[in-house]
């Protein structure tokens, strides 16, 4: 049976720091500014032999339910509902505040066991706050320093009675800690699908619509999403890990420290995704920043699907589709044949079509072509269009082999390949795309000097 712990408290008491300490790595963004965390984030925690799911939450603030902070509080309330145990953090340096007392009363009505944690208790700091925390009526406070790891044994002793004996980390619905940083080391598991794009194009709305619940915080305010939040989900028998990300603005506009951390989190999500959905605003498609994001995905070698969101707001759809197609062909020749899906995340139109395109792109990204087929095609391609002369000598292409998938990577053996014109390399790549149906994914072509390494030694 799974066991889930939610970490709650007012802004800047150290919730994300404790979350990172429990999961054993930096998953949540941490900054001195209050209110950094907005969405709830889950991970697998461990203290000694005790494993459990843990949820980081936004700081509790008393505000109108329709405001951004009010919607953040609703996300925290959902986390409390999902949890078996709540850790209520207070700042031992600042002491217990009226806001702490207000939300202590709220937690008493939540019908969940609560442990009060007095954080930032380095050395003897916060003794007065610990005494004040008794007055909250939620039991004996646990002194802790999440930043320095002090007091973890006391926290273990407090959590243990609430857990199942010998419990293991639950297969949490959200699994950011399972974003593997190396393709070769990636175990068989869910397809990692990152949703990226500029701010306010509807990334979080798209994920909420797919999940059928308000899992991600959304609203008209730009830049709501800060952390890359992963949620496990299934589609037609396929296991997916949906990764919501912060919007990417032009680099020159990113100056705030928190936004820089958010951008770094998004770039990491792209780097370790398998397929990336680039969400566009159909009212302003493929502007300069959209193209920059697409090229970043290509550089990382990820499979890409383009989603033109808010399509229901477009009046002349035929003209808009033609404009989008022309822009892709002209500006993204590296992704000839990339899947483009028009949709409405809010209305739910064409979501199945989008996910089918994702699965098709993933299959292409993993495709391997047999060496004999490659070399039969190469011979025909060279005969049809021979390589150019270099200093009076013709470039000779002797052999080709696929040396890698994810993305498809080919090695071409011959002589004078360093002098091969880019145009002829594009001819080879485009021919491979057409013949072996490798449309819409990045491809790599490596030039190798020397004879065919797979051929037998003629001297023997």
* Separation between Cα atoms, residue 137 and residue 158, nearest integer Å: 16
pLDDT at 67: 59
- 304's CB contacts (< 8 A; 6+ apart) are 275, 276, 277, 278, 294, 297, 298, 335, 338, 361, 440, 441, 442
Bond from prior residue into 407 cis (ω within 30 degrees of 0): yes
3-state secondary structure of 64: coil
* Separation between Cα atoms, residue 160 and residue 394, nearest integer Å: 74
pLDDT at 180: 41
pLDDT at 255: 58
Strand duo 238-244 + 229-235: pairing: antiparallel
pLDDT at 389: 84
* Separation between Cα atoms, residue 204 and residue 244, nearest integer Å: 6
Partnered with residue 445 across adjacent β-strands are 410
Residues of each domain in the chain carrying CATH 3.30.300.20: 371-449
3-state secondary structure of 89: strand
Residues of each domain in the chain carrying CATH 3.40.50.300: 4-162, 179-365
Superfamily of domain 371-449: K homology (KH) domain (3.30.300.20)
CATH architecture label of 4-162? 3-Layer(aba) Sandwich (3.40)
Query: Length of the chain in residues, anyone?
Result: 460
Element (H, E) at 159: helix 152-159
pLDDT at 186: 47
State CA 58 to chain mean position distance.
Answer: 19
pLDDT at 409: 96
The b-or-e profile of 114-151 (16+ CB within 10 A means b, else e) is bbbbbbbbbeeebeebbebbeebebeebbbbbbeeeeb
Point out the residues of the chain with pLDDT beneath 70: 1, 27-39, 59-71, 123-127, 164-188, 215-228, 252-259, 450-460
Partnered with residue 195 across adjacent β-strands are 244, 277
Span 179-365: which CATH code? Answer: 3.40.50.300
pLDDT at 158: 92
* pTM given for the model: 0.70
pLDDT at 2: 75
Helices (H), 83-140: 98-108, 127-134
The b-or-e profile of 56-71 (16+ CB within 10 A means b, else e) is bbbbbbeeeeeebbeb
């Amino acid at each position: 049976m799974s066991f889930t712990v939610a970490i709650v408290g007012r802004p800047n008491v150290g919730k994300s720091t404790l979350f990172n300490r429990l999961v054993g790595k930096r998953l949540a963004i941490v900054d001195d500014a209050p209110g950094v965390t907005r969405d709830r984030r889950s991970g697998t925690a461990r203290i000694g032999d005790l494993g459990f799911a843990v949820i980081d939450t936004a700081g509790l603030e008393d505000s109108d339910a329709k405001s951004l902070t009010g919607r953040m509080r609703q996300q925290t309330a959902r986390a409390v509902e999902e949890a078996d145990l709540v850790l209520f953090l207070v700042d031992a340096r600042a002491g217990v505040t009226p806001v702490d007392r207000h939300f202590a009363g709220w937690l008493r009505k939540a019908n969940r066991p609560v442990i009060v944690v007095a954080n930032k208790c380095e050395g003897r700091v916060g003794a007065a706050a610990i005494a004040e925390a008794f007055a909250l009526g939620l039991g004996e406070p646990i002194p802790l320093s999440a930043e320095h790891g002090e007091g973890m044994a006391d926290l273990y002793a407090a959590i243990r009675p609430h857990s199942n004996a010998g419990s293991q980390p639950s297969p949490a619905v959200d699994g950011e800690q399972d974003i593997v940083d190396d393709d070769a080391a990636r175990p068989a598991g869910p397809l990692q699908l990152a949703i990226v794009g500029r701010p306010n194009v509807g990334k979080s709305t798209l994920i909420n619509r797919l999940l059928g619940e308000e899992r991600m915080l959304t609203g008209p305010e730009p830049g709501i999403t800060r952390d890359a939040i992963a949620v496990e989900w299934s589609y037609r028998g396929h296991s997916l890990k949906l990764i919501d990300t912060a919007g990417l603005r032009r680099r020159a506009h990113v100056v705030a420290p928190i936004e820089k951390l958010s951008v770094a989190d998004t770039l990491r999500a792209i780097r370790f995704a398998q397929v990336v959905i680039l969400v566009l605003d159909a009212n302003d498609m493929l502007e300069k920043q959209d193209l920059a994001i697409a090229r970043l995905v290509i550089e990382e070698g990820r499979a890409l699907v383009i989603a033109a969101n808010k399509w229901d707001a477009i009046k002349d759809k035929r003209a808009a589709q033609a404009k989008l197609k022309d822009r892709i062909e002209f500006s993204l020749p590296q992704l000839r044949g990339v899947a483009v899906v028009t949709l409405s995340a809010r209305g739910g139109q064409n979501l199945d079509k989008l996910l089918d395109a994702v699965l098709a792109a993933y299959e292409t990204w993993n495709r391997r072509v047999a060496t004999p087929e490659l070399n039969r095609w190469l011979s025909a391609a060279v005969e049809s269009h021979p390589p150019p002369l270099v200093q009076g000598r013709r470039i000779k292409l002797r052999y080709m082999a696929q040396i890698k998938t994810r993305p498809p990577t080919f090695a071409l053996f011959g002589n004078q390949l360093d002098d091969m014109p880019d145009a002829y390399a594009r001819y080879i790549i485009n021919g491979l795309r057409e013949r072996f149906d490798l449309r819409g994914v990045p491809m790599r072509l490596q030039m190798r000097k020397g004879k065919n390494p797979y051929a037998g030694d003629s001297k023997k």
